[in-house]
Amino acid sequence: MNIQNALGSTPLSRRRALWGLALVAPNVLGLMIFFGIPVGIAFFTSLQNWNALRPPEFVGLANFQRLFSDPAFYNALGNTLRLLIMVVPIGMALALGVALLLNHRLRGRSLFRTLYFLPVVTSTVAASIVWTWIFQPRYGLVGGAFAFLGWQDVNWLTRPDLVLIPIGVVVIWQRLGFDMILFLAGLQAIPRPLIEAAIIDGATWWQRFRHVVLPLLSPTTFLVLVLSTISAFQIFDQVYIMTARTTRGGVGGSATTLTYMLYDRAFIQSQFGYSAAIALVLFGITLAVTVFNLSLQRRWVYYESDAS
């Protein structure tokens, strides 16, 4: 297919095609400038041994070879995956539950929607500091609550086996409102006659939810899944703030994620070539997971055309 066929055979179709290209051109240009160029620079930097003080030295793939033989990388990858497994399913389930509740005609539901969305626009640094005090072993609210169960002075942020839990709680709490809004939009797009028909047929609440709401909500669920997964790979602020009073990244690296490892190697140890390699590997992992989710989209996402 040549350019003329792509633009169309008539003057009107060519004019419309040119207008379409003109409208998308700024977005494509911005994507190339603000995404393509940084990725290219990161790839070029990953091939260098550079600390920003001495001239860069070309080392080829040595940074990647070092990365894949570094135990710290696999520790950070494991922590990132553990956080992902923790925050994505729990966060999606809570967001869907809240959306289902707030989708009903309740008095003051606009106020409740606003309250649930407030953590999204709250400063991550400020929220992490507050939650750090909440998880203090002696004076924190969580410590006081667990004291009734006989768990005295549980050091949530210093124990390697527990430190990911408070970080995951903060991530879920702060993202809950955003996912809730997406689910609310999906629920309100479901045709009301379908729900009424199920009620007339005698379907229970669970049957309506299982066979009507969930299938029609699957495109929104897929969107939330993809966005939550990408966000989980980018967890950094909570780790940086909540482990600041102990050791950065948790005791023995127990809370170090890939993004925190990238920050540490780049801005603490000045290993910019090595950190660029980490960034590219993180980008590749995130892209692979997203493409995998996209490949499964058609299998479990329900579209209106599927019913025809």
pLDDT at 7: 52
* Residue 246 banded pLDDT, cuts 50, 70, 90: low
- Within a domain: 55: no
Confidence band, pLDDT 50/70/90 cuts, at residue 303 = low
Measure the CA–CA gap between 204 and 210, rounded to whole angstroms.
10
Number of domains in the chain: 2
Confidence bin at 250 (pLDDT 50/70/90): confident
39 and 72 inside one domain: no
Whether residues 28 and 102 share a domain: the answer is no
Look at residue 57 and tell me if it is in a domain. Answer: no
pTM confidence score: 0.85
Q: Are 241 and 128 in contact (CB under 8 A)?
A: yes
Average pLDDT over residues 168-190: 94
Same domain, 36 and 76: no
Same structural domain, 2 and 111: no
> In terms of residue numbers, what domain contains 32?
1-46
Is 177 within a domain?
yes
pLDDT at residue number 301: 61
Clarify whether residues 241 and 171 are in a common domain: yes
Q: Which residue has the tokens 């994620």?
A: 257
Quote the pLDDT of residue 4. Answer: 52
The answer to whether residue 28 sits within a structural domain is yes
Residues 35 and 125 both lie in one domain: no
In a domain, 149, yes or no: yes
Do 19 and 148 sit in the same domain of this protein? no
- Residues 157 and 268 both lie in one domain: yes
Nearest to 125 by CA among 44, 14, 228, 244: 244
CATH classification of the domain holding 157 = 1.10.3720.10
To which residue do tokens 């041994």 refer? 49
Q: Does the pLDDT of residue 255 top 50, yes or no?
A: yes
